[in-house]
Structure 1
Amino acid sequence: MGGRLLLVCRLLVRDLRRRRTETVLLLLAISAATATLTLSLALDGALTQPYERTRTATAGPDVVATPSAAGPRALAALAPLTTAPGVTAHSGPYPIGYLMLTARGKTVQAVVQGRDNSPAALDRPAVTNGTWVRPGGVVIEPTFANALGVRTGDTVDINGHPLRVVGTAVTAARAVYPRADWRFGPGSPLVQAAGLAWVDSSQIGALAGGRPLSYTLNLRYADPRVSTSFTHLSTGGIEYTSWVQIAEANGRLVKRAHLALLIGSWLLTVLAVVSVANIVAGRVADQRRRVGLLKAVGAGPAMIAAVHLAEYLVIGLAAAGTGLAAGWFAAPALTNPGAGLLGSTGTHPPALRAVVAGTALAIAIAAVAALAPVLRAATTDTVDALANAATPPRRRGWRVRLSRRMPTAILIGIRVNARRPRRARLVMVNTLITTIGLAALLMGLAQNRQVKLGAAQLANPQSARTLQAMLLVVVVLCVLALINAVVSTWTAVLDARHPLAVARTLGATPEQVTVGMAVAQLLPATLGVALGVPAGIGLNLVTTPGNLRYPPTSWMLALALTVLLTVAVLTAIPALAATRRPVVDALRSTPT
């Protein structure tokens, strides 16, 4: 047993040293899928953790009460709530004005709350930049400030009154832009998108210009579970908003981005399996003579399988570590406060869950992709393994008759695919997954990424974050697909050296051979593109609610042509290099 283990380790180290480039490609392929899964787990945690931290840091209330009345009647309606059974703390009532804010030439809806510098028992907004409210100044919620394009020190106008932006702050008592719930007046049932701002309480009456002010009261209960009963509750002329509703509204900002990363991790997993299978198939085909030698000296199928699987499992474990590290360090950048995540300076994924899931995924990818070719090599006849012959194409009468009418280049391409049908299927899947990702990205770019706030429009942070996640996934998809294409075309050219040399001996020109290799890759790639474009569009239709805008047909046509042109160029370069080699050398170097 010890001798067999030593042999496996020696062959493992030898293969890793001899095939360093392929080993690096395998690491990249599996690491990409693992890193994307880690980012998805990080964003999953970011849906709730930042709000919880903000609620703790700012003494967020359990329930926010807003009466339908205005002025003194509103204050009278809220007064009994401060001494209601179960209430342990309260703050306010604070005046609220549904006003219009102008910044950089755009006039938008804003929920303006009057506050002062006295400490509050509940809802103490945390200043993230600048200072807290003072006369003549305004503090803006950060996501709203980013959409407006204003910074501390700029001047904005609220209902004709110029105010200096003295800072930005976050709160757990109201949802962030664009879900701050602007109304046409107190008690109005119509809720519209808006941002949140704070001003000195002594100025809000003048800013409202005589319009009646609404009020909000923050409440905390002895039993935290009581607050969940206030979800979507309006009774006695008072609307109650639970912290659960606010957390859910804030979570929507990254919910689609999380879904995009989750679907992207599935696509990357499939593409990683294709990549690993492609590389493994080339490695196993190159090692068939060694398989024959091992069998000739007495090694059984189990030993052959162990020799090959050990290599890929070791690479899978190394890739798991690499992918987890990349996802861990990239997660804070994806879950920063610019995404609308309150109180978050960057969220890491849960360590144990990420390690278990990432390691399991990496090992599964390596095992699933390597299992079929390894078992095929282990069960191959010794003589066939030593001969290292490709799968002979199945000859049919109708195929022979059809081939007589085909141009030489197309005939060469079809014959290459017939010899290695599995490689052609991998090319099709590789192109399919890549096209799905690119088509979905074009669909995302075609959507309206603006929020209407009255007569003006501002950027939608939800769409921006979703698009950022899609771009991340598509970039990784394209890099991995490019690696797959390079590996596939290069191994196809190397594997077809002998058949191509025979074709050149029979009169085929180097140009025909080059075109033939391009055809061999383009045939399955065309099918992948044809299926990928509608699949990418359908993916958006399934995952995105509401009416969608479709990109111009020219965009999709350009996408298809670009993908196919890339495949053709990547194939033509190694094919041209191979045709420069003398036919005699090619025939001598390849076993028959």
Structure 2
Amino acid sequence: MAGRLLLVGRLLLRDLRRRPLETVLLLLAIAAATGTLTMALALDDVAARPYERTRAATAGPDLAVTPHSTGTDALAELAPLTTADGVTGHSGPYPIAYLTMTAAGKKVHTVVEGRDGAPALLDRPAVTSGTWTRPGGVVVERAFADALGVRTGDTVSIEGHDLKVLGTAVTAARAAYPYAQWHYPGSVLVERGGLVWVDPADIAALSGGRPLSYTLNLRLADRNASAGHGSRDVYSSWQEIAEANAGLYRAAQTVLVIGGWLLTGLALAGVAGIVAGRVVARRRRVGLLKAVGAGPAMVAAVHVAEYLAIGLAAAGIGLAAGWFAAPVLISPGAGLIGSVGGSPPALRTVVAAVALALAIAVIATVGPVLRAATTSTVHALADSPSPPRRRGGRIRLSRRLPTAVLLGLRINARRPRRARLVTLNAFVTVTALVGILTVRAQRESFDLGYTEMANPRVERGQQALLVLTVAVCALALVNTVVHTWSAVLDARRPLAVARTLGATPGQAAASVAVAQLLPALLGVAAGLPGGVVLVVLAGTGRIDFPPASWLLATMLAALLVIGAMAAVPALAAARRPVADALRSTPA
């Protein structure tokens, strides 16, 4: 057993050294899929940490209570809660008014909370710029200020009263913009809005005599007991506030999860193409192993060990890249404190990344490896290509086709599995691009009372889309290069024979492009509805589809890129003398 393991290890290292470019391509293909999946899983692991850090820095409450009633009725409703069972501390009640603020030419719903400079047991907003409240001034929640584009020293108007922006701050007692839970007094319907703080002496004048509501912050003996406590519109537990803040990352997470599976399909297509070529190139070594007594299991172990090692290395690369890229992609935002990095990924993230990488390696290699393991010793030592399967109907049809199309069809007939990989590559690529275009066509703003404001989810979603677009395009190009070069190398001798029978170098080169475009055309045609279905299944509510011209241009661009990338190496190969091609060893 030790001798066999040593042999497998030596052959593994030798193969990795002899084919470094293919090894790098395999690593990149698998790492792209695992890295994207890691970023998607990292959203759950790290998105909550900035809120926890903010909650600790600002003494965030376990429960924030805001009754529907106003005035003395609201105070009477809140009074018993301060001495209720399980309550160990409180701050407030603080006056609340649901008003309209005008800033930078925008008129928006605004929750106005009256706070003075006295230290509070719970909910001590952290000032991030400027100073805290004083009469005649306003402090704006930082995410709200960023969305409006206001800074310390600017002037805003609340219900016609001009106030100077004294500073910005963050809190854990209420969700960040745009989820500050603005509503009309007495209504249970919550609308989007932002939060500001003013001096308690100013809030009565700002409200114009309208009855005020109040908010009370509670600390509970069992902090987890607050979950699901009462109506969501009245009781806001820290878990609900954290979930509202985490909602800013949901779009990005959906994009990355779906993108991870799309990249998995591309990785399978690319890895399978590379592995098939590597296994064919080692056919003679398979014969030598069998000649000295190795059985099918040993031959399979020699091949599988290499790809499992590459898969594990790619899992490590993808895991590291995805985890370190996640803080850049999902920056906590202006409404929270701190960064999201600095700790190792969760165990489930590591397990998922390793399992995905190994699954790609195994699924892509099992077919070629089994064929190699079951090849006869004589056939493997002869290192002769498998004879093409001839079908009378196809031959009769091909005789009536142009020369380039005829040769292209016969190239695919010799390697039908490679043609299917080209179809899969084109299908996944166009599906991803159509999905990306459809997502970008969605509305990027929402109504904040009187003004269309930017949706903060869009920023993170667009960042995720950018990552996915780059990864999909890069991996699709790598796959196209791999499939094209495999087709060129495999077709050298058949095309040389065709040239001796009268085919021109141009026809020979065009045949390779045709061999790539025909299966790619099927994938591109299926990718258009595939992308639409993908967005429909992943989306919620109304979906705005991109113009038909965008979709048509995407399909044509995909076909043009595939054709161009196939034509370049085919033209280079066609310039080679026929005699040299016939003397060369088959790939």
Q: Contact conserved, 1:449 with 1:464, CA < 8 A, in 2? A: no
The equivalent residue for 1:211 is 210
Distance apart, 1:225 and its partner CA = 4.4
1:24 corresponds to which letter in structure 2?
Answer: V
Per the alignment, residue 10 of structure 1 pairs with 10
- After TM superposition, list the pairs within 5 Å mapping 1:522-541 onto structure 2: 522-541=517-536
- Partner residue in 2 for 1:230: 229
Pairing of 1:144-543 with structure 2 (within 5 A): 144-184=144-184, 186-232=185-231, 239-338=234-333, 342-347=336-341, 350-543=345-538
Q: What is the CA distance between 1:438 and its match in structure 2? A: 0.9
Please, what is the CA RMSD of the aligned residues?
Answer: 2.1
More divergent stretch after superposition (262-271 vs 478-487)? 262-271
Residue 555 of structure 1 and its aligned partner are, at CA, apart by 0.9
Q: CA separation in 2, counterparts of 1:495 and 1:131?
A: 72
1:166 match: secondary structure: strand
Question: 1:28 matched to which residue of 2?
Answer: 28
8 Å contact 1:301–1:379 — kept in the other structure? yes
Pair 399,245 (structure 1): closer, same or farther in 2 beyond 3 Å: same
Q: Which shows bigger deviation, 136-145 or 375-384? A: 136-145
CA distance in 2, matches of 1:471, 1:172: 31
Aligned mates of 1:293, 1:440 — CA distance in 2: 49
Cα-to-partner distance string for 1:345-368 (whole Å, 9 max, x where unaligned): 124563433333322322222222
CA positional deviation for 1:341: 7.0
Q: Provide the residue aligned with 1:566 in structure 2.
A: 561
1:88 is matched with 88
In 1: Cα distance, 2:320 partner to 2:47 partner: 22
CA 1:444–1:171 in 2, change beyond 3 Å: closer, same or farther?
A: same
Deviations 1:94-146 (A, max 9, x none): 11122222222211111121111111111112233443333343322232223
SS in 1 for 2:39: helix
Cα 1:294–1:225 shift into 2, 3 Å: closer
Output one character per residue of 1:56-85: Cα deviation in whole Å (capped at 9) or x when no partner. Answer: 332222322223333344333323332333
Per-residue CA deviations over 1:533-552 (Å, capped at 9, x if unaligned) read 21111111111111111111
Following TM superposition, by how much is the alpha carbon of 1:47 offset from its aligned partner in structure 2, in angstroms? 4.5
Distance 1:69 1:327, change over 3 A: same
SS in 2 for 1:27: helix
Work out whether 1:68 is the aligned partner of 2:68. yes
AA matched with 1:215: Y
Confirm or deny: 8 A CA contact 2:330 2:460 kept in the other structure: no
CA contact (8 A) 2:91 2:218 kept: yes
Partner of 2:66: helix, strand, or coil? strand
CA contact (8 A) 2:138 2:164 kept: yes
CA drift of 1:591 comes to 4.6
CA contact (8 A) 2:285 2:381 kept: yes
* Cα separation, 2, equivalents of 1:535 and 1:437: 9
CA distance in 2 between counterparts of 1:23 and 1:147 reads 47
Contact 1:38 1:349 in 2 (8 A): no
Displacement, 1:158? 2.4
Write the distance in 2 (CA, Å) between the matches of 1:17 and 1:122.
Answer: 62
C-alpha distance in 1 between matches for 2:403 and 2:568: 19
Which deviates the most, 57-66 or 494-503?
Answer: 57-66
List alignment gaps of at least 5 residues for structure 2. Answer: none
- Of 9-18 and 294-303, deviating more is 294-303
Q: CA 1:229/1:415 → structure 2, altered by over 3 Å: closer, same or farther?
A: closer
Match of residue 57 from structure 2: 57
**Structure 1: how far apart are the matches of 2:192 and 2:271?**
47
Contact 1:505 1:583 survives alignment (8 Å): yes
* Letter paired with 1:355: V
State the alpha-carbon separation in 2 of the partners of residues 387 and 107 from structure 1.
80
Task: Normalising by structure 2, report the TM-score.
Answer: 0.94
Give the SS at the match of 2:90. Answer: strand
Q: Secondary structure at the match of 2:484?
A: helix
Q: Residues 408 and 555 (structure 1 numbering): CA distance in 2 closer, same or farther, change over 3 Å?
A: same
Residue identity in the other structure for 1:81: L
- Return the alpha-carbon distance in structure 1 between the equivalents of residues 92 and 43 of structure 2: 34
Q: SS of 1:426's equivalent? A: helix
Alpha-carbon distance in structure 1 between the residues aligned to 2:194 and 2:506: 64
Q: How far apart, in 2, do the equivalents of 1:555 and 1:586 lie?
A: 43
- How far did 1:233 drift? 5.8
Secondary structure at the aligned position of 1:110 is classed as strand
CA separation of 1:411 and 1:207: change in aligned 2, threshold 3 A: same
Distance 1:233 1:3, change over 3 A: closer
Q: Does structure 2 retain, via aligned residues, the 8 Å contact 1:231–1:245?
A: no
Structure 1: runs of 5 or more not aligned: none
Identity of aligned residues (%): 64
Give the match for residue 119 of structure 1. 119
How far off is 1:344 after superposition?
4.5
TM-score by length of 1: 0.94
Separation of aligned partners in 2, 1:141 and 1:572: 58
- The answer for the alignment partner of 1:579 in structure 2 is 574
Read off the aligned partner of 1:272 and give its amino acid letter.
A
Displacement, 1:325?
A: 1.6
